[in-house]
Structure 1
Amino acid sequence: MRWNWRAWRSRLVHLWRGSLRVRTIVITVVLAALSVTVIGIVIATSVRSNLFDSRRDQVLAEAGRATVQAQQMFTTAAELGDSPDLQSTADSVLDAVQLSTTANYLAFLRAAGQEGPIRLDPRVSRVFETGELSVSTELRETTAEASGTEIAWQSVAVSTETGSQPGIMTGTILDTVTAGRYQLFLFYNLADVQSTLDFVQSTLLFGGIALVALFGGVAYLVVRLVVGPVRIAADASEKLAAGELEERLPVRGDDELATLARSFNRMADSLQRQIRQLADLSRVQQRFVSDVSHELRTPLTTIRLAGDVLYDQRGDFPPTTARTAELLHAQIGRFESMLADLLEMSRYDAGAVQLETDPTNLVRLVEESIASVEPLAQEKGSEIRLVAPGGYFEADVDARRVRRILQNLLGNAIDHGESRPIVVYVDSDADAVAIAVRDYGVGMAPGVVERVFDRFWRADPSRQRTTGGTGLGLAISLEDAVVHGGELAVWSQPGEGSCFRLTLPRRAGTAWHGASPLALPPDEEAVA
């Protein structure tokens, strides 16, 4: 099974970004580990240096005393005339050196650059013969250059069966008087110092690990005490945002977190009161609009009947009275349309709209809508063309609402198209269907486009409208699109015209979140 590094990396990034507790604990542990590591290195280095310096000074002092003693023995033997027994004198000197020092091994070698016969045999410990320990050329040269009682030294290591052991090798010059100059090398094993240093380092290591773990535990407890209430407050905020207005934070103690909880609860109480007041006001407004609309329909029906009678008999009236009858008939029609739009908006505001979806061929629906406004378009001198390149044109929609959207879009295009052609595009894919109404009229500025779906708002109130709109058409069209799970988008440029695009999911009850089958505005060459 292959290790999915990308998945694990994504999970770790999500955990890091999504959890304040994890970030705080990790940062605390990392900083604590860095601090403990730096302090441990400084302490270990200081202890190592102090132990080594102390042991080195002790070794050099001891080697210096041994050298003085050996030189005195050689000088005394020469003064007493013991030249024939020079080898036994040298052996006695080396035995005395080994007894008076703590050196583990020694080497007694003739100094280089001397002439004459060798009268004393060199003496070395076994480790020099086996190669486990050797005198470096550098140390021999340094020893040869030393003067008087000066002690040369070098850090070396001896190889043993248990591994390499550190040590210090000292070098001094002995003048045998009668047999020339010899170099005395003493090796002091520092295994005891290394053992002490290892113990200190292991103690620092385990102590550092324990200290980092302690820091981590303390950070966890602090974060749990602080982040826990913050998370509870975040959950309560999410519930409030979801509409659970009764949600409150528990208040414990008198510390800052308790003050935060009390402030949050006061804010929640205030929001609950205001939201309830707004909801009550909204319900009153919706009921008022609905009641007024319903109550107006009865007298409006009577007025409509009376107006129709007058309109039908306008030929018998004087010109002024006849014109009045025509205006009355037109305004009664506009009033009925406005009442219908107000009732529809009140249903949307009350959330009482239900779709009645059926499989519908949108191309046929568009053709019917175009046919219904064709006379108005011809009157304005605009030609309406339909471009449907092909695709999945059948979709589960509420045909009445889609037809209403098309009537509004086509009516606006006729009013603002400046007698230029109007093109209706229909296209689809496996997931969505799209209808775009494109005109080449006056267009709209960016500030106007932002408000085009506002209720009772018109881009140009002074413009004469052929379709007699109420200012609610595009707002209702937007609601019709949203209730289908789709969108109604707009594009417009001054002098280039406008384009409204309706995109709906092909299957009822599903929301559309992909790319629309049509660009905005549509690419004329691509769909030609």
Structure 2
Amino acid sequence: MRGDGELLPITWRSWRSWPGQFAALFRRSLQFRTVLITITLSGLAILVIGLYISFSIASNLFQTRLDQVLDASTNAESAAQAVLDSSDATDRAALQSVLRSAIERASVTASSPLVAVYRAPDQEVSEVAPQDQGTNQLTNAITDQLRATVQENPGSQFWQSVEFVELDGSAVPGVVVGTDVEIPTAGRYELYIGYNLADADATLAFMQFTGVVGAVALLVLLAVITLLVVRWVIEPIQAVSATSRRFAGGDLAVRMPIKGEDELATLSESFNGMADSLQQRIHELAELSVMQQRFVSDVSHELRTPLTTIRLAGDVLYQQREDFRQATSRTVELLHTQTERFETLLSDLLEISRYDAGSVELESEPTNLVHLATDAVDGMRSLAEERGSDMRVVAPGGHLDAEVDPRRIRRVVRNLLGNAIEHGEGRPIVVSVDSDERAVALAVRDYGMGMTAEDADRVFDRFWRADPSRKRSIGGTGLGLAISLEDAHVHGGWLEVWSEPGQGSCFRLTLPRRAGDVVASSPLHLPPDDAEGVDPEVARLVDSVGSTGPVPTAEDGLERTEADHA
């Protein structure tokens, strides 16, 4: 089976792949699965019924033939005894002749040429007793067990199933019946008559062969009937499936044909009604989305003009704030700050609306994330120092260039740094950059208050704050992390977070090095290495940036990266 799910034809040369192709065909084809299950269950039922019928017929046939054999043997024994009783011979030759006559009478009466007579043991020695007589075919078939039973039970009749060896060496089933007769003046003799059951065995074999042929023909007929019925039922279902796929693919005008008045026609009618309703609803939503985008665009343009005027007037007042009284000066500062925040909020709203409308286009170019991270850290270092946090870039080295939109990635890094400064509680902030052949990753680690698992799950929600009573001190709009997540997704990457109360937080951005590639893993660990048991290298780094001595700069990290590259 190909990667797109298409079934490959089964060929004789690819016999090793047959099990996999058969399993795939069984999973994907309802028609094949239905026919196979029907044939399998029908075959099992026919097999069980056939075995039962075969055993019943064989048993009944054998029992009927056995009853005939026993009746014939009884008649043959009576006829032979009558011949012996009617004779008054006293010498050995005459008795031998009488015995042959009795054997011939028994053979004719039993309709079997297989007759043997043996003088019973444990009798007085007689000089006139005739010799034992019998055919070799019957003599070889009589077992010692049967003879012992006949000898121990005079006057009774016993039988045993045996096999007779034909002249060509083949074995045929048969029955040997044993009893005894009395020869006057000679004593008691054992009489054995053999019956060849080859005709009954041939009849049973013919019936079994006929049953097998009939079962195969029945299975073929069932397969054809099942295939026709399944095709008659499956074809409308396949039409429903194809129509559903087209509808899901965006062809909202596709509809199912309605034929007849059965359940499938009802299904088609219901599907078409659902499609009409969805098409109308999607059309309304599309119009609403267009109106919303137009409204946002119009509002943004209308707001920019008065906002620009307010900003210019506010800047003039802000530059002259020292000439005003203290209360007025404070008001001017608040006006300046809130005007900047309003302008930032307006830009963020416009940006997030572009993502919602799906109209974002990347301007990708080869970018070194170490340089980008260094510039972002240098740009926000003064703000971090105001909050008491030291920042450091750590770049172990590797394939660092990536095809990204530098403006958007720089915005992501600045948002992550601003979040770390806001919640870092004045502790060190470590920016790590690493990469491999397929991906590049950037992580911002702070050692502040941290978040619970529930808060971490919502940290990328728009306008969400873990502590609503906590005031934003660096002018955030509440959309920074949401926009950062969209920036990561539009690049085909990830933006993930790890956080524990009291241990700080770590945001990891992972991007493909080449545009369009799929990210399978990240070069940086999450949770970070110091999450459980402080890693020695990270501990040394945190100690260095948290000491009272000189703070390492971002250029140190860049120099280290270039040295590692070399």
TM-score, shorter chain, exceeding 0.5: yes
**Deviations 1:266-285, CA, capped at 9 Å, x for gaps:** 11111111122122212211
Partner secondary structure for residue 508 of structure 2: strand
User: Match of 1:388, SS?
Assistant: strand
Match of 1:87 among 91, 96, 100: 96
Say whether 1:275 aligns with 2:285: no
Aligned residues: CA RMSD? 2.0
Among residues 157, 161, 183, which one is paired with 2:163 in the alignment? 157
Q: Amino acid of the residue matched to residue 41 of structure 1? A: L
Which amino acid in structure 1 is aligned with residue 98 of structure 2?
T
**Structure 2 Cα separation of the partners of residues 487 and 527 of structure 1:** 26
Distance in 1 separating the partners of 2:74 and 2:521: 92
Alignment partners' CA distance in 1, 2:524 and 2:46 = 63
SS of corresponding position for 2:176: strand
The corresponding residue for 1:74 is: 84
* Alignment length (residue pairs): 521
Task: Measure how far apart 1:244 and its partner are.
Answer: 2.1
CA distance in 1, matches of 2:187, 2:154: 16
1:383 matched to 2:390? The reply is yes
Q: Which moved more, 1:180-189 or 1:344-353?
A: 344-353
CA–CA distance in structure 1, aligned partners of residues 360 and 537 of structure 2: 35
Looking at structure 1, the residues matched to 368 and 346 of structure 2 have their Cα atoms a distance apart, in angstroms, of 30
* Residues 33-78 of structure 1, C-alpha deviations (whole Å, 9 max, x = no match): 1110110011111111111111111111011001011111111113
Conservation of the 8 A alpha-carbon contact between 1:345 and 1:476 = yes
> Offset of 1:88 from its aligned partner?
1.2
Alpha-carbon deviation of 1:477? 0.7
Which residue, out of 217, 229, 239, partners 2:224?
Answer: 217
Q: 2:106 aligns with which of 97, 101, 104?
A: 97
Question: Aligned letter for 1:120?
Answer: P
- Whether 2:486 is the aligned partner of 1:462: answer no
Counterpart of 1:341 in structure 2 is 348
1:77 and 1:83 in contact (8 A); partners too: no
Structure 2 CA distance for partners of 1:54 and 1:209, relative to 1, 3 Å: same
Counterpart of 1:410 in structure 2: which amino acid?
A: L
Unaligned segments of structure 1, at least 5 residues: none
Is 1:429 matched with 2:429?
Answer: no
2:202 pairs with 1:192: no
Name which of structure 1's ranges 390-399 and 346-355 shifts more when overlaid on structure 2.
Answer: 346-355
Q: 1:423 and 1:284, CA in 2 relative to 1: closer, same or farther beyond 3 A?
A: same
Q: Aligned to 2:36, what secondary structure does the other structure show? A: helix
| Corresponding residue for residue 70 of structure 2 | 60
Distance 2:411 2:15 in 1: 53
Separation in 1, partners of 2:250, 2:493: 25
Aligned AA for 1:96?
R
- 1:104 maps to a residue whose letter is P
Match of 1:39 in 2: 49
Q: 1:157 offset after TM fit, Å?
A: 0.8
Query: Secondary structure at the residue paired with 1:58?
Result: helix
User: Residue 294 in 1 paired to residue 301 in 2?
Assistant: yes
Distance in structure 2 (CA, Å) of the matches to 1:516 and 1:17? 35
| TM-score w.r.t. length of structure 2 | 0.88
On the 8 A contact 2:141/2:163 being kept in 1, the answer is no
Q: Is the alpha carbon distance of 1:526 and 1:65 closer, same or farther for their aligned partners in structure 2, counting shifts above 3 Å? A: farther
Q: Which residue of 1 aligns with 2:551?
A: none
Partner of 1:27: 37
* Rounded Cα–Cα distance in structure 2 between residues aligned with 1:352 and 1:113: 117
Mean alpha-carbon deviation: is it higher for 22-31 or for 33-42? 22-31
Taking the aligned partners of 1:317 and 1:7, their CA distance within structure 2 comes to: 87
> CA deviation digits over 1:97-122, x for unaligned, max 9?
22222113111111122231352122
Indicate how the Cα distance of structure 1 residues 477 and 263 shifts in structure 2: closer, same or farther if over 3 A, else same: same
Matching of residue 320 in structure 1 with residue 327 in structure 2: yes
The 8 Å contact of residues 104 and 189 in structure 1, kept in 2 or not, is answered as: no
Match for residue 243 of structure 1 among 235, 250, 257: 250
- 1: distance between equivalents of 2:303 and 2:280? 34
Supply the distance in 1 between the matched residues of 2:536 and 2:150 (Cα, whole angstroms).
96
* Cα pair 1:421 1:440 within 8 Å, conserved: yes
Aligned pairs for 1:357-372 within 5 A? 357-372=364-379
Please tell me the residue identity of whatever aligns with 2:73.
Answer: A
Aligned residue for 2:515, secondary structure, equals coil
Decide whether the 8 Å contact of 1:387 with 1:527 is kept in 2.
Answer: no
2: CA distance, partners of 1:92 / 1:139: 25
Candidates 120, 129, 132, aligned match of 1:122: 132
The alpha carbon displacement at 1:193 in A equals 0.4
Amino acid at match of 1:66: A
Aligned residue in 1 for 2:412: 405
For the Cα contact (< 8 Å) 1:293–1:342, is it kept in 2?
A: no
Provide the rounded CA distance (Å) in 1 between the counterparts of 2:16 and 2:452: 47
CA distance in structure 2 between the aligned counterparts of 1:8 and 1:304, rounded to whole angstroms: 74
Which of 204, 209, 217 is 1:202 aligned to?
Answer: 209
Task: Tell me the distance in 1 between the aligned counterparts of 2:58 and 2:373.
Answer: 91
- Residue 519 of structure 1 aligns with an amino acid whose one-letter code is H
* Aligned 8 A contact 2:90 2:185 in 1: no
Residue 22 of structure 1 aligns to a residue in which SS? helix
- Provide closer, same or farther for how the CA distance between residues 442 and 240 of structure 1 changes in structure 2, counting only shifts above 3 A: farther
- 1:199 Cα offset (Å): 0.8
After superposition, where does 1:473-512 map in structure 2 within 5 Å?
473-512=480-519
CA–CA distance in 2 between the matches of 1:84 and 1:29?
A: 72
Structure 2, unpaired ranges of 5+: 1-11, 539-566
Distance across 2 between alignment mates of 1:185 and 1:240: 87
Change (3 A) 1:495 1:226: farther
Residue 162 of structure 1: how far off its partner (Å): 6.3
Equivalents in 2 of 1:399, 1:280: separation in Å?
34
CA distance in 2, matches of 1:233, 1:136: 74
Describe the SS at the equivalent of 1:250. Answer: coil
**What secondary structure is seen at the aligned counterpart in 2 of 1:433?**
strand
Distance verdict in 2 for CA 1:83–1:396, change over 3 Å: closer
After superposition, the C-alpha distances for 1:347-383 in whole angstroms (9 at most, x for unaligned) are: 2222221111111111111010001110110000011
Give, in whole Å, the separation in 1 of the partners of 2:283 and 2:537: 51
Once residues 537 and 300 of structure 2 are traced to their aligned partners in structure 1, the CA distance between those partners, rounded to angstroms, is 44
- Residue 375 of structure 1 aligns to which amino acid in structure 2? S
Letter in 1 for 2:407: R
Tell me which residue corresponds to 1:523: 529
